């Protein structure tokens, strides 16, 4: 598909702004080799005994931690993944003083790896873990990946829980409010790589008050009609073509 005109418009809006906010989801990391949930080859279309939304729920974690961790270690942690052109361009835009924040539903930490500083992780991160018994905190993924079965706290033997928002769990209020503030104040809001069906995250778009809402996604979303610019394409390829000046 020829996106030349849309890309020109996006470039112009980026050139003219120093208050861009990015809001993204799993599609931002598919070009880094991490599967999303709802694409054709996403996790929801792979075959498991139980649907992923059941396995990565709070109830399931509490009742069947062994099976939870089998799925989680296999499918949710990608220690070798590297930032792609989308992560890198967003970091560059922030560095240039044009982008204020990245708000992400992702839990993979790739925005930080690319150099982004202001990253609001709505759904937490696989790189932070806490002991449910003594509260000890463990950075990184090693405590989980180096364990067999359910990871246990080296200090007290309690079960380790990743700092990831599971289904049935609420989002962190402070992160959510900060995200709302950034979006409300944004001049350009770029939304990409998200099916926009997971709430309350998807509803954040409704706080945007400007007239430069850009959607970059492979598949159509329910918000396409609300957008001022829709670019159907791979986000790494699209943002990779943007000049920072």
The footprint of ligand NAD on this chain (CB under 6 A) covers a number of residues equal to: 29
Cα-to-chain-centroid distance, residue 195: 11
Contact 175, 121 (CB under 8 A): yes
Structure token digits, residue 100: 């204020």
Least distance in angstroms from the C-beta of 225 to ligand NAD: 16
Residue closest to 229 by CA, chosen among 211, 244, 203? 211
Contact 95, 87 (CB under 8 A): no
129 interacts with ligand NAD by CB under 6 A = no
87 included as an active-site residue:
no
Binder among 17, 106, 116, 129 for ligand NAD (CB under 6 A): 106
Mark 55-94 with x for binding to ligand NAD (rule: CB under 6 A) and - for no binding: ----------------------------------------
Binder among 26, 102, 153, 214 for ligand NAD (CB under 6 A): 26
Query: Toward ligand NAD, which CB reaches closer, 35 or 158?
Result: 35
Residue closest to 9 by CA, chosen among 192, 208, 229, 243? 229
Query: Toward ligand NAD, which CB reaches closer, 95 or 219?
Result: 219
What letters, b where the CB count within 10 A reaches 16 and e where it falls short, cover 96-112? eebbbbbbbbbbbbbbb
DSSP 8-state secondary structure symbol assigned to residue 204: G
Q: Which stretch binds ligand NAD (CB under 6 A): 10-18, 26-34, 167-175, 178-186?
A: 26-34
Query: Toward ligand NAD, which CB reaches closer, 153 or 193?
Result: 193
Q: Which stretch binds ligand NAD (CB under 6 A): 9-17, 166-174, 183-191, 216-224?
A: 216-224
Footprint on residues 194-213 left by ligand NAD (CB under 6 A): 194-195, 198
- DSSP readout, 2-60? --HHHHHHHHHHHHT-S-EEEEE-GGGSGGGT---SSSTTSGGGS--SS-HHHHTBHHH
121 interacts with ligand NAD by CB under 6 A = no
Binder among 83, 124, 162, 193 for ligand NAD (CB under 6 A): 193
Exactly one of 87, 123, 137, 211 is catalytic; name it: 123
Footprint on residues 135-174 left by ligand NAD (CB under 6 A): none
Query: In the 3-class helix/strand/coil scheme, how is 60-107 assigned residue by residue?
Result: HHHHCHHHHHHHHHHHHCCCCCCCCHHHHHHHHHHHCCCEEEEEECCC
Residues with catalytic roles: 123
Interaction site with ligand NAD (CB under 6 A)? 25-27, 29-31, 34, 36-39, 42, 105-108, 123, 192-195, 198, 216-219, 234-236
């Amino acid at each position: 598909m020829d996106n030349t005109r849309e890309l020109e418009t996006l470039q112009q809006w980026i050139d003219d702004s120093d208050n861009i906010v990015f809001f993204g989801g799993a599609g931002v990391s598919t070009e880094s080799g991490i599967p999303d949930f709802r694409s054709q080859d996403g996790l929801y279309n792979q075959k498991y005994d139980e649907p992923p939304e059941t396995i990565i729920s709070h109830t399931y974690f509490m009742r069947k931690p062994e099976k939870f961790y089998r799925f989680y270690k296999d499918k949710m942690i990608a220690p070798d993944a590297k930032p792609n052109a989308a992560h890198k361009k967003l970091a560059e835009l922030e560095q240039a003083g044009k982008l204020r924040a990245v708000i992400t539903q992702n839990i993979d930490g790739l925005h930080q790896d690319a150099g982004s500083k202001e990253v609001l992780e709505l759904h937490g991160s696989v790189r932070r873990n806490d002991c449910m018994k003594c509260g000890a905190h463990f950075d990184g993924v090693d405590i989980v990946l180096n364990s067999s079965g359910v990871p246990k706290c080296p200090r007290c033997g309690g079960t380790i829980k990743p700092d990831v928002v599971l289904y049935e769990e609420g989002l962190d209020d402070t992160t959510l409010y900060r995200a709302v503030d950034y979006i409300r104040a944004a001049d350009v809001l770029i939304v990409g790589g998200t099916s926009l069906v997971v709430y309350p995250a998807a509803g954040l778009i409704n706080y945007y008050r400007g007239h430069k809402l850009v959607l970059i996604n492979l598949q159509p979303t329910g918000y396409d009609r609300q957008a001022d610019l829709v670019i159907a394409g791979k986000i790494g390829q699209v943002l990779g073509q943007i000049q920072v000046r």
